[in-house]
Amino acid sequence: MPNSSKPVLVPAANTTAFDLGTPANWPFWLMLGLFGLVWATFAQPWLTGGQTIPWDGKAHFAPQVQFMAASFARGEWPWWTPNVFAGHPQIADPQSMLFSPPFILLALIDPAPGPWAIDAVVFAMVFAGGIGVLWLTTDFGWHPAGRLVAAIAFCFGAAMAWRLQHFGQVLSLAYLPFTLLFLRRAILGRLAMVPPNPASNFGLGPANCAACDRDDMPFPRRLAWGGLAGATAAFIVLGRDQVGLLAVYLLAAYAVALLVHDGRPLSRLRASAASLCAGGLAGGSLVAIPILLTVALADASNRPAIPVADAAAGSLHPALLVTGVVPHLFGAAGEMRDYWGPPSFHWEDTGLFLAQNMGIVYIGALPCLLIIWGVVGGRLWSREIRFFTIAFVAVLIYALGWYTPVFAWMHAALPGVSFFRRPADAVFLIGALGAMLGGYMVHRVLTEATEATHGRGARAVTGGLVLAVFALALTFAVLREQLVAAVLPLLMASAWFCGAVGVLAFARWLNPIRPVAAAVVLVAFAAADLVVNNGPNGASALPREKLDMLEPDGRNETIRLLTGKVAQSRSATRRDRIEMVGLGYHWPNTPLTHDLHATLGANPVRLAHYVLATGAGDTVAEGGQRAFPPAFASYLSPMADLLGLRYIATGEPIEKIDPSLAARPLPLVARTKTAYIYENKNALPRIIFAPAAMIVDFAQILETGRWPNIDYRHTVLLPRGAASSTTSPSPARPAPQNGPIITSGMVEIERYTNTEIVLASNSPVPGWVVLADVWHPWWQVTVDGKTQPLLRANLIFRAVYVPSGRHIVRFSFHPVQGAISKLISSPPRKAD
């Protein structure tokens, strides 16, 4: 925050001094209140109007938070979940929200957060991001109207409004302005700056003000700012998303700019070295373990890295840049069938794979108009804003992906880029940096002399460029035969840009006599624009009642029926699994919400060996997305039985999903409004004592789908080499296929939690305790307290050899130890 001393006024040749009786002296709390009013207006439909953030926000992220909260309430660690993909390492998953402070706090406070509570946290973080922008631009000394317009455009423009459902990326961006502010203070060694002028550097204060260039901050305070910069940067990194990656590169570039801005980088580096080290220590200590775990998970997953061609398929199509002027041109706010932008059924052959709301870059007519004006007039190349201008261009080039010649180089040369599949995610940064440029131009308009801002040539060129964008949008509509659909969006956008021109002229005329009114007019127009154009729509809001399957109270009929049936069949040996297929986009991760154990889920990152054996894909929102690999050729297969897959809920008759069931359909046990529910009565218990084992080639079964003809209640399949890892004198003792079954023992579940499973074994003969949870190297097993080899059994499950008699078998999850061991023993895999 600015200190209490009065700022030094340094008028420049083409500027006017700040009059302390004008908006320049608005207290921070007043700006905060005005911004809060805009935030409340924008967020009202979600927080009080019965709308909820849909799509990935509820299909993926909300169930993760609900699982975390339920785990805390039970006194369990949420590091591993048994609820999806027959087991998944949550602690390493970058989308699990386990390292997100706001959602951790929610999970600790509310044991069963519903969609409203989760949305409230997201909007609270959006509000926090606005506070960060206001605080940062106050340090820059901008006019209050510029600060407010920057905060409004940052929070409610581009992807922050249109991609609300990507909670992790929203949070990563919300931390960014705080990190920029703390980094700036740590390096420069001072708090707020005097009002800048065009001769100043990177928004760092006037170059001709010797007093402001002094590094006079007390060392402990400077060290604290460095630590805060590192901590908030760590919060960005902990999102482990592409927005966080780009933000880290932006912060690194900003640190360099701060060090070199006054031509004495070595002196500046010596003065700030301790602060930067404090930041590095704080940030590194927070991110080291999560990053280690994520790297290890990626190496064992279906996507250790993304090949450049696959990543570039998520490029921002250049045509989508017209949404910076005409946001609704392509119909992104409506139904998918009505969307006609690239890519779509109406705009094919792009080779892209993008959601329809991913490329909207609209931050408001007023900021857009002023940015174009700033480029034409050269104001955005002023040294005080030049860093943000360069960063904006760099991020735009990245977002365009394969439409520029440099993305392939970025993918190969920049660490981290190959982990992500969609350069268009940079639209978050495009909106944020555009907001800074637009806010700066509002500051210039209200602080410069009249003659400096009203050049006829600049106005003419600006108007011509805006008209050219409208003409381009009209051309797209004609070429794609969508002129009728484009008329209303074009008229609406024309009205907003005409309004922006009028409001800008009026505010500029009013400013000398009524500066407060001029500022309010500009801020109110910018706010109204984004509330109307970027407010709730089909891409960002749906009625809550449509997502009742995610309410923790289980009011949904299908959820109630499934939870009831699973509870009825639960026993000392059984934890029956379910599968949901083709019920809709928001269904696959609902087992996390309702503590159901499922074979599938929704997640782009899954364990590779599980995917090979079961065909588990990113999602099964539609029936056609259920793949059946050779090892899981049908719901009537050994793999389905070994998984303990008892109930299958489908959105259409099951034989349409699994045609092999047409002749031998599974029994239909219930029919609800949303699902057909079938039962596989051959589903095996979760735990089995197998007195016999058969050594087989797992790879051959995965490739051919030919399973041995044995009784899997008594015989376990082990891979080659497993015999030498047991303590049995005859570990591969098979049961005769057509003879009597070897006498079996008993095993029961004594304790089953996320990260620890305790079993009691009692058998007159030695054998193998088989647990039908997915095998993972971070699990360890002990028998009577002594560590034993954890075997991979029946292709994907866990097993341990036990002697005859009574024994306690304990499976426990040790992710940090496991990840370190894995990275030491073998380097990460590379993309092809």
pLDDT band at 12 (very low <50, low <70, confident <90, very high): very low
Residues in the chain: 832
Q: Would the CA dihedral through 692, 693, 694, 695 be positive or negative?
A: negative
Read off the pLDDT of each residue in 547-551 and give the average, rounded to a whole number: 95
d(CA 186, CA 181): 9
**Over the chain, what is the mean pLDDT?**
90
d(CA 306, CA 312): 9
Q: Is 799 helix (H, G, I), strand (E, B) or coil?
A: strand
Backbone phi and psi for residue 715, each to the nearest 5 degrees, phi listed first = -130, 135
pLDDT at residue number 740: 43
Residue 414 has pLDDT above 80, yes or no: yes
Residue 378 has pLDDT above 50, yes or no: yes
Q: Are 365 and 147 in contact (CB under 8 A)?
A: no
Residue 220 has pLDDT above 90, yes or no: no
pLDDT in tens, 591-621: 999 999 999 999 999 999 999 999 999 999 9
Q: Where are the alpha helices (DSSP H) in 157-264?
A: 158-162, 167-188, 219-238, 242-260
Residue 212 has pLDDT above 70, yes or no: no
d(CA 108, CA 110): 6
Residue 732 has pLDDT above 70, yes or no: no
Read off the pLDDT of each residue in 49-65 and give the average, rounded to a whole number: 94
pLDDT in tens, 662-709: 988 899 999 999 999 999 999 999 999 999 999 999 999 999 999 999
pLDDT at residue number 22: 58
Q: How many CB atoms within 10 Å of residue 698?
A: 21
pLDDT band at 204 (very low <50, low <70, confident <90, very high): very low
Q: Which two tokens stand for residue 377?
A: 């007039």
Read off the pLDDT of each residue in 28-53 and give the average, rounded to a whole number: 95
**Which residues make beta-bridge pairs with 607?**
301
Residue 725 has pLDDT above 80, yes or no: no
pLDDT in tens, 746-789: 999 999 999 999 999 999 999 999 999 999 999 999 999 999 99
Which region holds residue 595: left if phi is over 0, alpha if psi is between -120 and 50, else beta? left
Residue 65 has pLDDT above 80, yes or no: yes
Burial 196-214 (b: 16+ CB within 10 A, else e): bbbbbbbbbbbbebeebbe
Q: Are 327 and 157 in contact (CB under 8 A)?
A: no
Peptide bond into 343 cis (omega under 30): yes
Q: Are 781 and 814 in contact (CB under 8 A)?
A: no
Higher pLDDT, 531 or 305: 531
pLDDT at residue number 457: 83
pLDDT band at 77 (very low <50, low <70, confident <90, very high): very high
pLDDT at residue number 823: 73
pLDDT band at 17 (very low <50, low <70, confident <90, very high): very low
Residue 463 has pLDDT above 90, yes or no: yes
Q: Would the CA dihedral through 24, 27, 29, 34 be positive or negative?
A: negative
d(CA 28, CA 275): 27
Per-position DSSP letters for 712-764, written without gaps between them: TTTEEEEETT-GGGS--SSTT-PPPSSSPPPPP-EEEEEEE-SSEEEEEEEES
Pick the range with the lowest mean pLDDT from 343-357, 520-534, 695-709.
343-357
d(CA 555, CA 545): 10
Read off the pLDDT of each residue in 484-496 and give the average, rounded to a whole number: 97
d(CA 128, CA 176): 10
pLDDT at residue number 305: 81
